[in-house]
Amino acid sequence: MFEGKHVTLTISGSVAAYKAATLARSLQRAGATVRVVLTAAAARFVTPATFAALTKQPVLTDTTWWHDDGQIAHVELADWTDLAIAAPASANLMAQFANGLANDVASATWLATAAPKVVVPAMNSHMWQAAATQRNRQRLLDDGVTVLQPATGALAEGYAGTGRFPEPADIVRQLEQLELFTPQTLRGKSVIVTAGGTRERLDPVRFLTNDSSGKMGYAVAAAAQAAGATVTLITAPTRLTPPAGVTVVPIQSTAELAEAVLTRFPQADALVMAAAVADFQPLTAADQKIKKTKDNDELILKLKKTPDILAEVAKVKRTNQVTVGFAAETQNLLANAQRKLQSKSLDLLAANDVSRADIGFNSDDNQVTFIQADGSRDQTPKTSKQMIATALVARLAAILETK
């Protein structure tokens, strides 16, 4: 997995800094070229000479940064990097990263790096558990950084706790499982993803909606972004945090979703409609809260059809654009899905059976049958929405290739 990859290893002030030498060697043995950044605090525990000799590469420290040779060393290193690993990452380094500081060579390089990032914390257990550190950890996760769990065991302070630097072999094993290097099959492509259940207003305090959590659409947005696409996520309200780096367009109703999609679609290469769009909306939305009175034992709502967005998109779709739909069905799954694919001129449709409680709406898992315009079908196993999203993006990229 590391064959030919450029790994930047940032080492901060920690007793565990000496273990980073073994980590650097393990990464090299796995095929990576490793370049090391030492914080000022790290340089009090380990020396640049150790890492320069091990990696056969210059080591960047605060004292070698900003020379009068015209090099912008932190940006040069950031651009070179395929994977950035901070290990050991002290509480201070995590705080710098989480807050976007660039006040030393380690944080400036990190901030300038667009490559996937992994933090391997190492600190005293109380420092690890401190609210501020946990807040910084969450921020890093929200920014798309992978934060490994520190190990539990003997600490340098003489007592046991959680905060130990994991063994280098464990770190490499965990990194290998992360699939950090996603093939950039959508590089240069612009992809719109819609997500969540639309809300159709009845009155200022009530709306009609559905059980969609938005998880599938958010997973597709993240997978498309990981594959190198520029992603616009048009989203109905959800409880989810959008993937870092995607452009988020919040909408509520089907009409707003239709307008957001139709204005952006001409500039896009692909559209994935994962939103659960209401089929009907109230004929009129009341200006004031609908009141119950002693006479109205029944309230009759009149609904009208919403615009079918994919059908509208089909009318303006160019031959080099790809559209992907979802079909959530409770019966006759494949027959209904096939009909949708044709009526909406889709290239790909992911059909799922929402009558099953273990998959579909709100669940973390899903199982879909992909149906393509050429009639081919393949069914995924029941798996996470992330895996389904990756499978969908792979098919989307392959279809775009043929356009």
What residue ranges bind ligand C5P (CB under 6 A)? Answer: 254, 273, 275, 277, 279, 306, 308-310, 325-328, 340
With CA atoms as reference, report the closest residue to 42 among 65, 8, 18, 75: 18
CB of 309 to ligand C5P, least distance (A): 3
CB of 378 to ligand C5P, least distance (A): 18
CB nearer to ligand C5P: give 109 or 253. 253
CB nearer to ligand C5P: give 46 or 257. 257
Say if CB 77 and CB 52 are below 8 A apart. Answer: no
CB of 231 to ligand C5P, least distance (A): 17
Alpha carbon 62 to chain centroid distance?
32
CB neighbour list of residue 144: distance below 8 Å, 6 or more residues apart:
117, 243, 244, 245
Say if CB 384 and CB 364 are below 8 A apart. Answer: yes
Q: What's the first-to-final CA gap in the chain, in angstroms?
A: 31
Q: Residue 350 and residue 399: Cα distance in Å, rounded?
A: 14
CB of 52 to ligand C5P, least distance (A): 55
CB nearer to ligand C5P: give 202 or 346. 346
CB nearer to ligand C5P: give 148 or 261. 261
CB of 127 to ligand C5P, least distance (A): 46
Between helix 215-226 and helix 385-402 the angle, nearest 10°, is 50
Say if CB 21 and CB 52 are below 8 A apart. Answer: no
Amino acid at 369: T
CB of 369 to ligand C5P, least distance (A): 14
CB neighbour list of residue 290: distance below 8 Å, 6 or more residues apart:
202, 203, 206, 299
CB nearer to ligand C5P: give 92 or 194. 194
CB nearer to ligand C5P: give 172 or 274. 274
Specify which residues 10 forms β-bridges with. 37, 86
Burial 197-211 (b: 16+ CB within 10 A, else e): bbbbbbeeeebbebe
Mapping DSSP to helix (H, G, I), strand (E, B) and coil, where does residue 149 land?
Answer: coil
CB of 282 to ligand C5P, least distance (A): 15
The residues annotated as belonging to the active site are: 210
CA atoms within 13 A on the CB side of 108: 16
CB nearer to ligand C5P: give 55 or 232. 232
CB neighbour list of residue 92: distance below 8 Å, 6 or more residues apart:
12, 13, 41
